[in-house]
Amino acid sequence: MQEEKGQSAKRRGPGRKAAVLIGLSLLVGSIVVVLIGLILIYPDFGPAAPDAPSESIVPDEQPNLALVRSGGRSAGDPYIPELGNSGYDALHYTLRLALDPQTEFIEGTTTVVARSTYSGLAEISLDFAGYQVSSVVVDDLASTYWLDDRKLIIELPEILKEDQSFTATIDYEAESQKISSELVGFVGHLGLHYSDGDSIFTLAEPDGAQ
């Protein structure tokens, strides 16, 4: 009898192991099915895919709006501080004048090519006296302007960065003005002189070319 019991126990041993393996297989299978279901229902479930490398976009440098300012209305000469302007360097002037010595009437267009000397430049000024301004255009855009004593103030259509070039075109007209100068006392006035009805000459320094 004891020998038969021992043989019966040996026969039951492999059956138990097989049952355990089957149970584990069913458990693992159930977990896999659950995970697949979660992934199908919630695509974001599971480890995130690594981000694809993106190109680095460097925006254009913009002027610092906290530093917006107007150009100065003096070149800084201690003897004639009322002359000149700052905030830009004039690179080139082009003057187109229609002159008639018989009428002393002038129609003119002055084009100034310049470069800003600091970032945030929003307004410039030019020495200007004696003429009626009809238009001011900066970089092909109409600009707001006004006269303040012997200065033409121009509001730039866009705020400039340092070393940014711009072109200002001013149209004007009037009869020739006879404006005296305290700096040159030996002539009646600076600017244009109509001597005999057929010729014109000018005295422009230091403040006649306004």
Q: Which residues of the chain have pLDDT under 70?
A: 1-66, 207-210
Strands 105-116 and 165-175 come out as: antiparallel
- Torsional class of 102: left (φ above 0), alpha (ψ -120 to 50), beta (otherwise): alpha
What is the predicted pLDDT for the residue at 138? 97
What is the predicted pLDDT for the residue at 119? 92
- Tell me, what DSSP letter sits at residue 170? E
Token pair listed for 10? 């040996």
What is the predicted pLDDT for the residue at 200? 81
What is the predicted pLDDT for the residue at 158? 94
What is the predicted pLDDT for the residue at 94? 96
Domain ranges of the chain: 65-177
What is the predicted pLDDT for the residue at 187? 75
What is the predicted pLDDT for the residue at 38? 59
Write the CA distances from 191 to 22, 43, 129, 210, integer angstroms. Answer: 111, 81, 10, 8
Residue 135 — φ and ψ, nearest 5°?
-165, 150
pTM above 0.85, yes or no: no
Provide the 3-class DSSP secondary structure of residue 133: strand
Say whether domain 65-177 belongs to CATH 2.60.40.1730: yes
Other CB atoms closer than 10 Å to residue 36's CB: what's the count?
10
